Amino acid sequence: MMKKMILEARINEYAMRDENPHVPWTADEIAETAARCREAGASIVHFHARSPDGSPLHTVEAYAEIIRKIRSKCDVLVHPTLGWFSNDEDPGGRTACILALAKDPATKPDIAPIDTGTINLETYDRVSRTFSHGERVYKNRTDTLELYAREFGAAGIKPVLVCWSVGFIRRAAALIEMGLVAEPAYFLLNMTDGPYLTGHPGTPEGLEAHLRFLPSGHRIEWASNIAGGNLLNLADMSARRGGHVAPGIGDYAYRELGCPSNADVVRMAARTARSAGREIASPDDARELLGL
C-alpha cells in the first residue's frame, strides 16, 4: 500500500480579495478556514498574518492569536511564514517571531519554512507586456539558512525546505549533509505560473525537473506547490510519484473553478489523491511521515 498523502493548505499568503473573496485575513477567519480545511483533509495549514486591510502583519502577538485560535478549533499542524519578502531585510531577525512563539507550547509552530536560496520575484503581465516589482529580490543568504536550520532544530520546529530551482534542492541537500536538517527532510517544490517567472513552470515537466534532483541516500518527503497556477493539475502526478500537495487560494485564485474556498480546493485534491490510490494523512499521520 502506498503511504498516506499529506495535504497542506496554503490559505492566504499575501493574496488580496479582488480575485477570490474567500482569502482569510483576520485571526478568526484564518482559524475558521483551518478548521474547514482540516475537515476536507488537510493535515497542515500554512498562513500569513494579515492586517484588517490585508497588508502584511508581522508581530508575535498576531501570530500567537492565530495559532491559539486554530488550535482551539482543530488539530491541524501549524505552519506560519517567516514573512517572505516583506521581512527579509534583517536576516538575523527573520526568525525572531517564530522563536518567540516556540517558547510557549500553546503557540509553538509545528513547521516553519526555509527558502534555500535567493530569487528575483518580479511579476510579468503578458497582456500589457510590462514588468512590476522589478526591484524585488527575496534574499536568503546561505549563512542565514544555516542559522535558521540550527535555530529551528534547537526549538524543535520541523523545517520545510522550500525550493524554487534545482540549485535550491542542491543547497537543501547540503544542509541535510551537514546534519542541520533531520531526516526525513520535508521539501516543498515551489513552481510558478501566471505572472511569476521565477520558478519552474507548474507543469509535469516543471515538477519532473525538480524530482530528478532530489537527493538519493536521504529519507525525504516532498510536496508540490504552484504560485500563480492550478496545482490540481499536478495532484494526480504528485500522488502517483509518492509526493504530497500543498494547494490553496493563497497561491492561486482558481477563478476557472469559480473562486472556490480553501476547503473546496483541499477537497478536490483529496478526491484526486484517493482516486490515485492514496489515503489522506491525518495530522498524526503527517507527524509520523515527517518525523515531528
In the list 52, 135, 216, 217, the residue contacting other proteins (rule: CB under 8 A) is: 135
CA 148-244-281 angle, to 5 degrees, is 100
CA distances from 156 to 33, 49, 101, 151 (A): 26, 22, 12, 9
In this structure, are residues 191 and 227 in contact, taking their beta carbons and an 8 Å threshold?
yes
In the list 197, 257, 259, 276, the residue contacting other proteins (rule: CB under 8 A) is: 197
127 binding other proteins? (CB under 8 A): no
Q: How far is the CB of 201 from other proteins (least distance, A)?
A: 7
Which residue lies nearer to other proteins by CB, 199 or 243?
A: 199
**Of how many residues is the chain composed?**
292
Region of 46-54, 63-71, 101-109, 207-215 interacting with other proteins (CB under 8 A): 207-215
CA distances from 202 to 31, 191, 245 (A): 29, 5, 13
In this structure, are residues 43 and 7 in contact, taking their beta carbons and an 8 Å threshold?
yes
Region of 10-18, 65-73, 195-203, 270-278 interacting with other proteins (CB under 8 A): 195-203
Question: Which residues from 147-166 bind other proteins, rule CB under 8 A?
Answer: 164-166
In the list 26, 87, 198, 282, the residue contacting other proteins (rule: CB under 8 A) is: 198
Which residue lies nearer to other proteins by CB, 53 or 205?
A: 205
Enter the C-alpha cell of residue 115: 527558502
Nearest to 188 by CA among 248, 103, 124, 141: 248
Helix (H) or strand (E) holding 93: none
90 binding other proteins? (CB under 8 A): no
142 binding other proteins? (CB under 8 A): yes
87 binding other proteins? (CB under 8 A): no
CA 14-169-101 angle, to 5 degrees, is 45
Residue 115 burial (10 A CB sphere; 0-12, 13-18, 19+):
buried
Q: How far is the CB of 281 from other proteins (least distance, A)?
A: 29
Question: Which residues from 107-126 bind other proteins, rule CB under 8 A?
Answer: 117-120, 122, 124, 126
Region of 42-50, 92-100, 141-149, 154-162 interacting with other proteins (CB under 8 A): 141-149
In this structure, are residues 189 and 206 in contact, taking their beta carbons and an 8 Å threshold?
no
Nearest to 252 by CA among 193, 197, 209: 193
In the list 61, 75, 177, 284, the residue contacting other proteins (rule: CB under 8 A) is: 177
Q: How far is the CB of 138 from other proteins (least distance, A)?
A: 9
Residues that bind other proteins (CB under 8 A): 117-120, 122, 124, 126, 129-131, 134-137, 139-143, 146, 164-167, 170-171, 174, 177-179, 192, 197-201, 205-206, 208-209, 212-213
